[in-house]
Amino acid sequence: MIGHRSRVRTTVLLLAAALLFLPSGVSAQGSGEGFLFKQPTVQVGLNGGYSFAHAGGPVLDFAQSELTLGKRDFDAASFGFALAVRASEHLDIAFDVRYSGSDAGSQMRDWEDQDGLAIVQTTSFKRVPLAINAKFYLQGQGRAVSQFAWIPQRLAPFLGVGGGTTWYEFEQKGDFVDFESLDILSLTLKSSGWTPTAHAFAGVDVLITPKFLWTLEGRYSFGSADTGAAFAFESIDLSGFQVTMGLSARF
């Protein structure tokens, strides 16, 4: 099982490695290259990054108080796809889907079995948000030189809000103490489903060539879900902050 620092290190190394295989610089802007005869209206991209879970609510609070888990054990690498359609020079309507999932080992904090051994478990936490976003570019995305050419901005900062639905799965598998009988039980406890979520974000598009660009973004999501009988129908917190870097193409 991979710890928090190892997950962060692996994510950073993967994103850094991607830089080695992609065009560098923004020389295309300096050379005056752009789009002839029409402006691009669609942008598609892939992104990767890291999700920092807020990890509140009764279910995750209980996991942290009774098991040797902390907030950062619910953090995870993130990967996603985005599709944006231009509504105006300053506004895109975008759809995106992302995935993040953590897997952490733990043991009961204050309990041992009859042989003095630790009572161990594995906890996994997965999130897949599907969202529609309004993405507002503060300075626009480019400028029309004439009716025949459009030049993209070298740097295009943006703000946005969005919402949709998130699929989650929270699973704990291993041995647990029954606090009433004090028996040690081998269990698999799982809750999953869809729930509404919302988020706000900010970032910047950085030009590579007229058609390709980096997209750097920070996003905070809000949401929770009611679990099933496995976790006594308590709520689970799906909120958290996510930072991503993506490669996008314009058409």
Cβ pair 181, 188 in contact under 8 A: no
Whether pLDDT at 77 is above 60 = yes
Radius of gyration from C-alpha coordinates of the chain: 22
Residue of 165, 161, 143, 138 whose CA lies nearest to 153: 143
pLDDT computed for residue 31 by the predictor: 40
Q: Kindly list the domain boundaries of the chain, sorted by start residue.
A: 4-250
Answer left, alpha or beta for residue 232, where phi above 0 means left and psi between -120 and 50 means alpha: left
Average pLDDT, the chain: 88
Residue of 162, 96, 99 whose CA lies nearest to 130: 96
**Dihedral sign, CA of 32, 33, 39, 42?**
negative
- How far are the Cα atoms of 87, 88, 91, 104, 141 from residue 137, in angstroms, in the given order? 11, 10, 6, 39, 7
pLDDT in tens, 141-177: 988 777 678 888 999 999 999 999 999 999 999 999 9
CATH class of the domain comprising 4-250: mainly beta
Task: Kindly give, in sequence order, each residue whose CB lies less than 8 Å from that of residue 132, ignoring residues fewer than 6 positions away.
Answer: 93, 94, 95, 162, 163, 164
Cα gap 61→236, rounded to integer Å: 9
pLDDT category at 179 given cuts 50, 70, 90 is confident
Whether pLDDT at 138 is above 90 = yes
pLDDT category at 20 given cuts 50, 70, 90 is low
pLDDT in tens, 185-236: 999 999 999 999 999 999 999 999 888 999 999 999 999 999 999 999 999 9
DSSP state of 21: T
pLDDT computed for residue 39 by the predictor: 80
Out of 24-38, 54-68, 163-177, 180-194, pick the least confident. 24-38
The better pLDDT of the pair 20, 136 is held by 136
